[in-house]
Amino acid sequence: MERNNLILSAQKLMQVSEQFAQEYSLKKDLLVDEMNKKMMARADLNDLVGANNIEMMKDNNANHARFMESIFYQHSAEVLVHTVLWVFRAYLSRNFNSTYWAALLNGWIEIYKIELTADCFNAVYPYYNWMQIKIPIFVKMAEEKLNSQNSLH
């Protein structure tokens, strides 16, 4: 039921215009570089990502940017929810802290405010606001799935 509610709420996100999807696309590599710098500068990085997960975090940043680029070009609530849930499960199972997501999403927003035009920022921000608000639900669902998988062994 929660998955369906997530999909219904994600359906309310507006399709990003082609113009702003292209702007994001053109700046994607710069955005990833800036995000990696921002995260690497955090004193609490190891607490957020766990031991030996720095490269995984960097991969996530690159994958995140590519995924969001695809969503901005072709919004799909089902794909968005399915992928975000998968990412939460995958990273929590690798000992990323649940607080990682708030730090990550806040970081993207800060970078977008600087690097994207105001109109482009306003077009993509609702996706990040939606993800931020839904963090507790994503964590809960991911942990439930992980716990149910572990109980089968």
Q: Would you state the pLDDT for residue 150?
A: 53
Q: Mind listing the pLDDT tens digit for each residue in 68-88?
A: 999 999 999 999 999 999 999
Enumerate residues 6+ apart whose C-beta is below 8 A from 31: 24, 65, 108, 111, 112, 115
Q: Would you state the pLDDT for residue 32?
A: 98
Within a domain: 4: no
Within a domain: 11: no
Instruction: State the total domains in the chain.
Output: 1
Task: Note whether 39 and 59 are within 8 A (CB).
Answer: no
Within a domain: 10: no
Within a domain: 107: yes
Within a domain: 116: yes
Mean pLDDT of 33-51: 96
Q: How high is the mean pLDDT of the chain?
A: 94
Within a domain: 35: yes
Q: Each residue of 110-121: b (16+ CB within 10 Å) or e?
A: ebbeeebeeebb
Within a domain: 147: yes
The residue segments making up the domain with residue 110 are 18-151
Mean pLDDT of 25-47: 97
Within a domain: 5: no
What distance in Å separates the CA atoms of residue 67 and residue 25, rounded to the nearest whole number? 11
